[in-house]
Amino acid sequence: MNTRNLLTTLFLLACVAQEAAALVRMGAGNVEVHARGPAGLRITGKSTEVSLVEDSSVLLFKAAIAPLDTGIGLRNRHLREALEADRFPEATLSVKRADLRFPGDGTSVEGETQGELTLHGQSHPVAVRYRAERKDDLTHIAGSLRLDLRDFAVVTPSYLGVAVSPEVEVDLDLAVEGL
């Protein structure tokens, strides 16, 4: 093997290693977005399209915007329009591994940390409460955070005189192997 071939082989191996480091974990999960409106109105959008991309330093949670279902078709459309789902099809939450505690087998941990939420093309730090439990190589992660839609340049949805509050809560639930 000449030097040129050796360098090519090393480069390819490095690429493969890099790809392996960014491990995509698709597990059973769901995300719920809770909004409130006047006179006690509660709106919950739900989706099961949640995934976790993991590398050596960061956990990146991804949730697709378009599948969020609020139970009413027209309201789903208004939600997609408000979040411009065509332009920004997913929201991501990035959390540094170093800021998290990981459970051993048969144990659970919980805590609060800082993550970076990207929504509607805007990124801002958010406080994230989380709980993780590991059993038989399956890690169950539950996280929640609050955000203000105005911070993400989202025009607060309003329909026929009923406007939702810009403060929104997000709950995320995901079970993945390993971690």
Partner 1 sequence: MRTAAGLLVALLSGAASAYPTMIRHGYTQCATCHVDPSGGTLLTEYGRAQSELLLSTRWGSASEEEPGPSSRFLFGAVRTPDSTILGGWLRNGYIWNSVGGKLVDQRLLQMRADLAAAFRAGPLRAAAEVGYATASSAAYSELASITRNANGANLVSREHWIGLGLADDAVLLRAGRIQLPFGLRNIEHTSFVRTATRTDINQDQQDGVALSFVGAGWRAEAMAIVGNYSLHPDAFRERGASAFVEIAPSSQVAFGLSALATRADATLENAGPTLRQCYGVTARAAPWTPLVISAEVDALIGTALGRGATSAGHAGWLQADLEVARGLHVLSAVESQKAPGESATSTGLWGGLAWFVVPHLDVRGDVIRRSTPGSPATATFLLQLNGYL
Footprint on this chain of partner 1 (rule: CB under 8 A): 36-44, 71-74, 76-77, 159-162
Q: How far is the CB of 24 from partner 1 (least distance, A)?
A: 31
Q: How far is the CB of 4 from partner 1 (least distance, A)?
A: 58
Half-sphere exposure of 117 (CA within 13 A, CB side): 22
Residue whose CB is less far from partner 1, 44 or 118: 44
Gap between the Cα atoms of 101 and 95, Å rounded: 11
Residue whose CB is less far from partner 1, 106 or 161: 161
Residue whose CB is less far from partner 1, 133 or 169: 169
Question: Measuring CA to CA, how many Å separate 89 from each of 55, 56, 62, 106, 148?
Answer: 22, 25, 10, 36, 19
Gap between the Cα atoms of 140 and 44, Å rounded: 22
Q: How far is the CB of 98 from partner 1 (least distance, A)?
A: 36
Q: Where are the beta strands (DSSP E) in 16-161?
A: 23-25, 28-36, 42-47, 50-54, 58-64, 90-96, 108-119, 122-135, 138-148, 158-159
**Residue 160 DSSP symbol:** T
**Coil, strand or helix at 165:** coil
Q: How far is the CB of 43 from partner 1 (least distance, A)?
A: 7
Residue whose CB is less far from partner 1, 53 or 142: 142
Residue whose CB is less far from partner 1, 83 or 179: 83
Q: How far is the CB of 119 from partner 1 (least distance, A)?
A: 22
Gap between the Cα atoms of 70 and 39, Å rounded: 18
